[in-house]
Structure 1
């Protein structure tokens, strides 16, 4: 079964393996298989589920809500997000304005079939809306009971500090940050994690397996396997492309003996690795098949000895991305319509 960790400086416990349905539900995976994956997550002891209104343009929330019908709501932790365009993409269908936040939470709650979400996250930073307006809207949602806690995703260290200070002034707190983090992508370590620690915020990390690259199934000099994310033209191939070069793929193959030593698959090693960071509350994992969920949860509770953590660094060498500037570089400078 899956271990629990506290989320930030709060009393909320979440499963350290959290089920996420980005790039799967309503997109790559048919609804009945998506439901089977959610059931497999529940059977494995996962109680925390993460989605967003933008995933498959709201369909992913609907699929998740349908899959969780009949479950005791109080035994679940349901997370969603707001920022990216939804609906027809009108001028107010995106961003973190009061209008978009208030309308988006109502849509999300309807699709998820719940009166509240446990965590509502700013999916990106909105450069076009005053931060005070955004934080006031979040404060109102907390007071209305529509969101129990508030978090952010892919915010820089400075943005996190400013948001946390305003939240405190308004009588609530930011408790989470949801960045990309893996053995290959460590850009949060130098700035985002220290800023988060200062403010009682922990990480819910996405793509701990680097979109599948850290499974070792992509071999240098060979075409990607049919049906893999690297062949998915609906979005998966674009996201994984930064890792699809022979230097990275060759370095990843060096991790196989380390995984074997721990009696883990390479995917389990990747998930266990992010959980060694004590500022990480949860690793987000998705699935296109129910059996993948059962395999991923075996990473929960694994302790990687310090000497093997060093071996992992040595195996990957110079292919690891550490530049903290990548967080801002990969964030939208203006609202995307």
Structure 2
């Protein structure tokens, strides 16, 4: 698997990242270990987690696997702090909690989720700067920010000598809102996108074409609403186009959808998550294919935000 620099920084990550949202909830420690070993064996380096995944259990599982199963030097650990607001003290305390669960003295990338409108943004910036200055984080990023919010924070932090290198957002053939303002702002400031849900929350695999399988995330009490957002006529049209492309290329819809995101301008890594090792191996198949220009163009056209209006 190839690696890519995140934005204009020196941080290098694998073009596919390993998401851990299900770890500690639907994926136990043994399955997580199998996923991690398969991912690293395929050349993957980026492990993406958060303090809220499994109420912290995802980080704890990673802390038992790295370095006991996989050497710390072989992976890029990225964690995102969610749900504590933008206050400096709360953010740094949450980061310290993540480091304790991850069983490490630093993360390679620390991201803060959500723009806190109740506080001066400089307070959040101060926490991010302090994390780097203290050695807790090698690089910093922002998650769930609008384009103008990202630009505002990036400008302040660059002036403080602590540049933002990454931003994390949902991005797929059924969710292209990041192209409106986030990706242009990221490009201007030399920030790389870590794209989560490149498979449209599983919808682009085609598994929901004829209903909701009982063993799918769409049937899970934890993720039914998460998946349901992309179960509609517009998404169905895109899913059929992806399935057609996959048939023509002799590969899976999953691999086509993932490869499309992976190769988009500004994307540093596409983060894939799986409940078990078999699902992960399907995603890793995307590393073996390159979409022909005509297929990329066709998928871009059918998934354009204006495509639904034009088809009526």
CA-CA distance at 1:208 after TM superposition: 0.3
In structure 2, relative to structure 1, the CA distance for the partners of 1:239 and 1:99 (3 Å cut) is same
Q: Which moved more, 1:281-290 or 1:33-42?
A: 33-42
Question: Map of 1:1-337 to 2, 5 A cutoff?
Answer: 2-22=1-21, 24-70=22-68, 71-84=70-83, 94-219=84-209, 222-234=210-222, 236-300=223-287, 302-316=289-303
In structure 2, relative to structure 1, the CA distance for the partners of 1:320 and 1:152 (3 Å cut) is farther
1:42-90 CA-partner distances (Å, limit 9, x unpaired) = 2222111000001111111101221223232222100001131xxxxxx
Query: What is the alpha-carbon distance in structure 1 between the residues aligned to residue 306 and residue 240 of structure 2?
Result: 12
In structure 2, relative to structure 1, the CA distance for the partners of 1:195 and 1:250 (3 Å cut) is closer
Contact 2:176–2:305 (CA under 8 A) maintained in structure 1: no
Structure 1 unaligned segments of length 5 or more: list them: 85-93, 323-337
Query: Which residue of 2 is the match for residue 87 of structure 1?
Result: none
In structure 2, relative to structure 1, the CA distance for the partners of 1:13 and 1:225 (3 Å cut) is same
CA-CA distance at 1:18 after TM superposition: 0.4
Query: What is the alpha-carbon distance in structure 2 between the residues aligned to residue 109 and residue 157 of structure 1?
Result: 29
In structure 2, relative to structure 1, the CA distance for the partners of 1:264 and 1:226 (3 Å cut) is same
CA-CA distance at 1:19 after TM superposition: 0.2
Contact 1:26–1:60 (CA under 8 A) maintained in structure 2: yes
1:165-219 CA-partner distances (Å, limit 9, x unpaired) = 1101211100011000000100011211111111010100000001110001112
SS where residue 283 of structure 1 aligns?
A: strand
Structure 2 unaligned segments of length 5 or more: list them: none
Contact 2:174–2:238 (CA under 8 A) maintained in structure 1: no
SS where residue 170 of structure 2 aligns?
A: coil
Query: What is the alpha-carbon distance in structure 2 between the residues aligned to residue 319 and residue 216 of structure 1?
Result: 22
Contact 1:62–1:112 (CA under 8 A) maintained in structure 2: yes
Work out which structure has the larger RCO, using CA pairs closer than 8 Å and 6 or more positions apart in sequence. 1
CA-CA distance at 1:307 after TM superposition: 1.3
Aligned residue pairs total: 308
CA-CA distance at 1:129 after TM superposition: 2.2
CA-CA distance at 1:250 after TM superposition: 4.5
SS where residue 169 of structure 2 aligns?
A: coil
CA-CA distance at 1:227 after TM superposition: 0.9
Q: Which moved more, 1:6-15 or 1:307-316?
A: 307-316
CA-CA distance at 1:96 after TM superposition: 1.8
Query: What is the alpha-carbon distance in structure 2 between the residues aligned to residue 137 and residue 321 of structure 1?
Result: 43
Query: What is the alpha-carbon distance in structure 1 between the residues aligned to residue 4 and residue 263 of structure 2?
Result: 12
Q: Please list every run of at least 4 consecutive aligned residues from structure 1 whose deviation after the TM superposition is greater than 4 angstroms.
A: 314-322
